[in-house]
């Protein structure tokens, strides 16, 4: 059985302030969880295959393709032309780094 003092001790370790009402509520909830774990421990699992995790599906990804885009250029002249400044098919922006 879980005592309220156990809950308060756990709360102190976790540096959580609990009111007496909250501590009692958590004591009841934790007791229910532990009762459920006890039921699970009694379950017959001898016929069950052990699980190692996951579904066994690995790298279920689509092929990476550029989709017709020209490397290093925007997909259409309309986008570049709509920019405030452009040069040689690229959007021109102010320098971010000094060239010194």
Between CA 90 and CA 100 the distance in angstroms is: 24
Ordered structural domains, the chain, with CATH: 4-42 (1.10.20)
For residues 92 and 83, is the Cβ–Cβ distance under 8 A?
A: yes
Residue-level pLDDT at 100: 72
Q: What's this model's pTM, rounded to 2 decimal places?
A: 0.47
CB atoms within 10 A of CB 7: 21
* Digit-coded pLDDT (tens) for 72-97: 555 666 777 888 898 888 888 988 88
Between CA 76 and CA 67 the distance in angstroms is: 13
């Amino acid at each position: 059985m879980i005592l309220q003092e156990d809950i308060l001790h756990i709360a102190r370790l976790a540096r959580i302030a609990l009111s007496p009402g909250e501590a009692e509520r958590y004591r009841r909830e934790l007791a229910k969880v532990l009762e459920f774990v006890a039921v699970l421990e009694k379950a017959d699992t001898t016929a069950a295959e052990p699980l190692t995790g996951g579904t066994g599906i690995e790298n279920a990804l689509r092929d990476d393709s550029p989709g017709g885009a020209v490397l290093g250029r925007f997909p259409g002249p309309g986008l570049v032309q709509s920019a405030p400044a452009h040069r040689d098919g690229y959007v021109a922006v102010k320098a971010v780094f000094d060239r010194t």
